[in-house]
Chain A
Amino acid sequence: MLSGILFMLGTVGVLTRKNALLIFMSVELQLNAVNLALVAFSRLHDDLTGQVLAFFSMVVAAAEVVVGLAIIVAIYRRRRSVDVDDVRELRW
Chain B
Amino acid sequence: MVSHPNPALWLIPALPLATAAINLLWGRRLGRWAGWLASASVIVSFAVSLAVVSQLVAKPADDRLFLQHLVDWISVGRFVVGVDLRVDGVSATMILVITGIGALIHVYAIGYMAGDPRYGRFFSYMNLFVFFMLMLVLGANYLVLYLGWEGVGLCSYLLIGFWSEVPANAEAAKKAFITTRIGDTLMLIGLALIVFRFGTLDFEVVFGTAGTVLTKDAATAIALLLFAGAVGKSAQVPLHVWLPDAMAGPTPVSALIHAATMVTAGVYLVVRSHVLFELSGVALTVVLVVGVVTAVFAATCAVAQQDIKRVLAYSTISQLGFMFMAAGMRAYGVAMFFLVAHAFYKALLFLGAGSVIHGMHDEQDLRRMGGLRRLMPITFATFLVGALAQAGIPPLAGSFAKDAVLEVAQHSGRETVYVLGSVAAFLSAFYLGRMLFLTFFGDARSDRARAARESPPLLWVPLVLLAVGAATAGWLNVTPEGRLTGFLEHVTGFTPAGQGVAVAALAAVATVISLLALALTWWIYGSGRVDWIGFRERLEPLPRAALNGWYVDRAYDTAVIQPAKAGAWVTAYVVDARIIDGAVNAIGGGVKALADGGRQLQTGFVRSYALAVFLGAVAILVYVGVRS
Measured CB to CB, the residues of A under 8 A from B are 11, 14-15, 18, 23, 84-85, 87-92
Contact = CB atoms under 8 A, between A and B. Distances in A.
Interface of B: 599-600, 602-607, 610-611, 614
A69 to B, nearest CB: 15
A18 B607 CA distance: 8
19 contacts: A14-B610, A14-B614, A15-B607, A15-B611, A15-B614, A18-B607, A23-B606, A84-B605, A84-B606, A85-B605, A85-B607, A87-B604, A88-B603, A88-B605, A90-B602, A90-B604, A91-B603, A91-B605, A92-B604
Contacts of B606: 23, 84-85, 87
A92 B610 CA distance: 18
Contacts of A84: 605-607
Contacts of A89: 604
Contact of B604 (A11, A14, A23, A91): A91
A51 B342 CA distance: 116
B602 A92 contact: yes
A23 B607 CA distance: 10
A90 B610 CA distance: 15
Question: Which residue, B603, B605, B610, has most C-beta atoms of chain A within 10 A?
Answer: B610
Q: Is the interface of B mostly helix, strand, loop or mixed?
A: helix
A69 B208 CA distance: 101
A11 B614 contact: yes
Contacts of A92: 599-600, 602, 604
A91 B546 CA distance: 81
A88 B607 contact: no
A53 B330 CA distance: 107
Nearest to B605: A88
A15 B610 contact: yes
A51 to B, nearest CB: 24
Contacts of A11: 614
A90 B614 CA distance: 20
Nearest to A91: B604
B593 to A, nearest CB: 14
Nearest to A87: B606
A62 B603 CA distance: 29
A19 to B, nearest CB: 11
A85 B607 CA distance: 8
Nearest to B596: A92
B598 to A, nearest CB: 9
B617 to A, nearest CB: 9
Contacts of A23: 606, 610
B242 to A, nearest CB: 66
Contacts of B599: 92
Contacts of B614: 11, 14-15
B615 to A, nearest CB: 10
A4 to B, nearest CB: 13
A57 to B, nearest CB: 16
B610 A91 contact: no
The 8 closest A-B pairs by CB, nearest first: A88-B604, A91-B604, A92-B599, A92-B602, A84-B606, A91-B602, A90-B604, A14-B610
Nearest to B598: A92
B50 to A, nearest CB: 91
Nearest to A85: B605
A7 to B, nearest CB: 11
